[in-house]
Amino acid sequence: MKHLIDRLYETSTLTAAEYRELIDNRTPELAEYLFEKARDVRIRHYGHDVYLRGLIEFTNHCKNDCYYCGIRRSNCQAERYRLTKEQILECCAVGYELGFRTFVLQGGEDGYYTDEKMVDIIRAIKAKYPDCAITLSIGEKSYDSYKAFFDAGADRYLLRHETANVEHYGKLHPKNLSLENRKQCLYNLKEIGYQVGCGFMVGSPYQTTDCLVDDLLFIQELKPHMVGIGPFIPHHATPFAGFSGGTLELTLFLLGIIRLMLPTVLLPATTALGTIHPRGRELGILAGANVVMPNLSPRSVRPKYMLYDNKICTGDEAAECRQCMQRRIESIGYRVVVSRGDHKSFQKKD
Ligand code: SAM
Ligand code: FES
């Protein structure tokens, strides 16, 4: 199996059958070999730098009803909130002081935030912090909405495709949502000029190796600038409450593969990874990740943005998370940098 890793390292691509073989025959020894290669590639492109993103979870209202998600519309136990523009700017102010130069505005698909309101928020952040990047993660919108946000100053957009297998997509989402539209959104975002992130949950209900192979082939086709992957973790008040979660081991293996497929990709070690293992994020960095996204949301709302059970960092202040993250990264010989942390192909903007 090492020969497949060697070829992925050299050519950044494998066939569907080879990806399947690699995933199905993985062993701890093979994983260690993969991570060494993945570290080699990330160090070549980004050294030991780890980029920080300040995550601002500005609304947990959502019109969608994804079966896996704790803030889905039908979860009437969720206590809903929205942050005002002033509250969002306050998060940015705290974050800027702490060395964040990217703010990620994430939320459910919430019609309250019209395009006009979003444009106003984006412009206000950019006016105050012209040296910072804005990443949006607010779901599926029209081409024109994406264009309006981009023209207002948004730089990047995260929209996980969730699964690239049509049947699997149908098992994770109600009928009004389609993989076709999700993919079209990603292509639109790319065309407009965003740094684009897709991604998926590892170990989501009904996921098979074939689904993962479809995910890898889609990533190979889209060539995103960022890939967000993390384990699926069940939430008690969703239809998937009774399913088991994704594993650390498979998530790390896939992080390593993705680093070799897209050598310059911005790859976060996610909060979900830190939730299923106390050193999940550090292990993610050691498997090839180069981004971490500490929480900048006001402490009062953090427990309400509960996508899955036992989410970490819901009781901490932003400064505590920032310090904790720095210690964690330094403990494995990497360093947190104060920078926008653009994808290599966009770094002229720095
Ligand atoms: N509404 C936006 C969207 O659809 O892209 C952004 C918010 S959504 C909650 C962000 C991501 O959380 C999703 O793309 C999904 O992969 C992840 N997520 C939701 N529920 C999860 C769960 N139970 N376990 C792990 N990740 C989950
Ligand atoms: Fe939040 Fe460690 S990153 S407590």
Cα–Cα nearest to 5, from 17, 18, 16: 18
Cα–Cα nearest to 297, from 278, 271, 275: 271
The Cα–Cα gap between 110 and 62 comes to 5
Buried-exposed string 68-95: b where 16+ CB fall within 10 A, e elsewhere? bbbbbbebeebeebebeeebbbebbebb
Ligand 1: nearest atom to the Cα of 200: 16
Is the CB of 109 inside a 6 Å radius of any atom of ligand 2?
Answer: no
- Locate the domains of the chain by residue range: 2-342
Site to substitute for ligand 1 among 68, 176, 271, most atoms within 8 A of C-beta: 68
CB neighbours of residue 27 within 10 Å: 9
Q: Which two tokens stand for residue 278?
A: 């106390």
Backbone angles phi, psi at 106, to 5 degrees: -120, 145
CB neighbours of residue 205 within 10 Å: 18
Ligand 1: nearest atom to the Cα of 245: 24
Nearest CA residue ID for atom 20, ligand 1: 69
Is the CB of 273 inside a 6 Å radius of any atom of ligand 2?
Answer: no
Q: What is the mean pLDDT of each run of 10 residues along the chain (350 residues)?
A: 97 98 98 98 98 98 98 98 98 97 98 98 98 98 98 98 98 98 98 98 98 98 98 98 98 99 98 98 98 96 97 91 95 97 82
The rounded Å distance from CA 58 to ligand 2 centre is: 19
pLDDT at 24: 98
The rounded Å distance from CA 327 to ligand 1 centre is: 27
Is the CB of 291 inside a 6 Å radius of any atom of ligand 1?
Answer: no
Is the CB of 54 inside a 6 Å radius of any atom of ligand 2?
Answer: no
Q: What is the CATH number of domain 2-342?
A: 3.20.20.70
Supply the DSSP string of 158-208, one letter for each residue.
E---B-S-HHHHHHHS-TT--HHHHHHHHHHHHHHT-EEEEEEEET-TT--
The rounded Å distance from CA 221 to ligand 2 centre is: 34
Pair 222, 257: CB distance under 8 Å: no
Nearest CA residue ID for atom 1, ligand 2: 321
Nearest CA residue ID for atom 1, ligand 1: 108
Q: Which two tokens stand for residue 123?
A: 């412009």
Site to substitute for ligand 1 among 307, 308, 310, most atoms within 8 A of C-beta: 307
Pair 55, 94: CB distance under 8 Å: no
pLDDT at 350: 46
Q: Which residues contact 171 (CB under 8 A, 6 or more apart)?
A: 67, 205, 206
Is the CB of 109 inside a 6 Å radius of any atom of ligand 1?
Answer: yes
Nearest CA residue ID for atom 3, ligand 2: 321
Which residues is 202 bridged to in the sheet? 231
Is the CB of 307 inside a 6 Å radius of any atom of ligand 1?
Answer: yes
Ligand 1: nearest atom to the Cα of 160: 14
Is the CB of 108 inside a 6 Å radius of any atom of ligand 1?
Answer: yes
pLDDT at 316: 86
pLDDT at 347: 85
> Of the bound ligands, which one is closest to the alpha carbon of residue 201?
1
Residue 337, classed as helix, strand or coil, is strand
Buried-exposed string 270-295: b where 16+ CB fall within 10 A, e elsewhere? bbbbbbbbeebbbbbbbbbbbbbbbb
CA distances to 76, 214, 227 from 173, in Å: 18, 17, 21
Q: Which two tokens stand for residue 87?
A: 């509250």
The rounded Å distance from CA 31 to ligand 2 centre is: 27
